[in-house]
Structures are given as C-alpha cells and as structure tokens.
C-alpha cells in the first residue's frame, strides 16, 4: 500500500499537529488512514476518504464544542458514553494522580464492577496478582476500543 505522506499529515492537521501526538496516537491515526484506504479500494466508495476540513479548529473552538457532542475525539466509554447523552467535561486530575484518582475521575463506568471483582478475589484469598488483574480487567474499555488491533 502506498501512503501519501503529505495527504496523511494534512489529515492530522499538518506536520506540527502530528509532532504533538504521542507515538500511540500517530500509530492509531496511521492505522485509521490505512483502513480508510483499504475500505475505499474494496468498495470504490469515496465516502471512505478522510474528511479534510477547510480550516482546522483552534484549541478554544474544540474546547467550546466538548459539551455539545455525544463523543470526544478518541475511543472507549470515556469518549463515547453508553447513555447516548452529550459528553461532559472531564474533571481535572490532581498534579500527581494515583490509581485511585483514575478510578474516581476517569473509569466511572467500569469502576464499580472491577472493584467488586477485586473485593471478591480478596475475600477468597487470591494472590495479589489475581486481585490486581480483577481490579484492572475492564478499565481498558474506558480508554480504547475493545476491538483495537483485531
């Protein structure tokens, strides 16, 4: 597959925007770009082309839109609520967040379930590794697509 570097970088908002992305975000963007190319090649449908806005929004414009949409830029329940309502602003994290802070401020949908699972493992005398696995087993659904990489 041929990737037109300029077209790809332009789809991200240009080289400067791409340079501000971490390696995981760039990899996800490239994967999405390649999937769109493959889908277009397979179906011949130009709707699979990535949408290229006339003008990329400023940070202030993006922040002003947060509570007006039913999704955030990203994936997972933290980004696309199960309820179908508009997303709310995420509460600020402390300067040095702990795992507890992530459960309190970011893993709202799955925290009760995984805490119950970890508590049950503790009550049954499971090893610490099993308790930690129970505590973390579903929080990934808050931050990434569960089918990512399949």
**DSSP 8-state assignment for residue 147:** T
* Dihedral angle, C-alpha 121, 127, 129, 134, nearest 10 °: -10
Rounded CA separation 114/110 (Å): 6
Q: Is the pLDDT of residue 137 over 90?
A: no
Better pLDDT: 8 or 50: 8
**Cα dihedral sign for 67, 71, 73, 75?**
positive
As given in the structure block, the two tokens for residue 102 are 């992530």
Token pair in block for residue 115: 């805490």
Task: Give the per-residue pLDDT at 75.
Answer: 53
Confidence (pLDDT) at 150: 45
Residue 43 is predicted with a pLDDT of: 59
Look at residue 68 in the predicted model and tell me its pLDDT: 76
pTM: 0.45
Distance CA 134, CA 77 (A): 19
Kindly tell me if the per-residue pLDDT of 124 is higher than 90: yes
Nearest to 29 by CA among 11, 45, 15, 47: 11
Kindly report, residue by residue over 37-89, the tens digit of the pLDDT: 776 665 565 554 554 455 666 777 777 777 776 666 655 555 666 666 777 77
């Amino acid at each position: 597959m041929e990737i037109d570097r300029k077209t790809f970088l332009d789809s991200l908002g240009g080289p400067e925007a791409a340079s501000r992305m971490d390696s995981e975000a760039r990899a996800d963007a490239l994967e999405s770009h390649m999937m769109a190319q493959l889908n277009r090649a397979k179906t011949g449908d130009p709707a699979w082309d990535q949408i290229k806005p006339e003008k990329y929004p400023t940070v202030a414009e993006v922040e002003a839109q947060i509570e007006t949409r039913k999704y955030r830029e990203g994936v997972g329940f933290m980004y696309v609520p199960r309820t179908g309502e508009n997303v709310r602003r995420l509460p600020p994290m402390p300067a040095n967040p702990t795992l507890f802070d992530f459960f309190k401020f970011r893993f709202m949908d799955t925290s009760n379930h995984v805490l119950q699972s970890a508590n049950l493992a503790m009550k049954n005398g499971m090893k610490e590794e099993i308790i930690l696995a129970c505590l973390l087993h579903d929080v990934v659904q808050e931050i990434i697509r569960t089918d990512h990489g399949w």
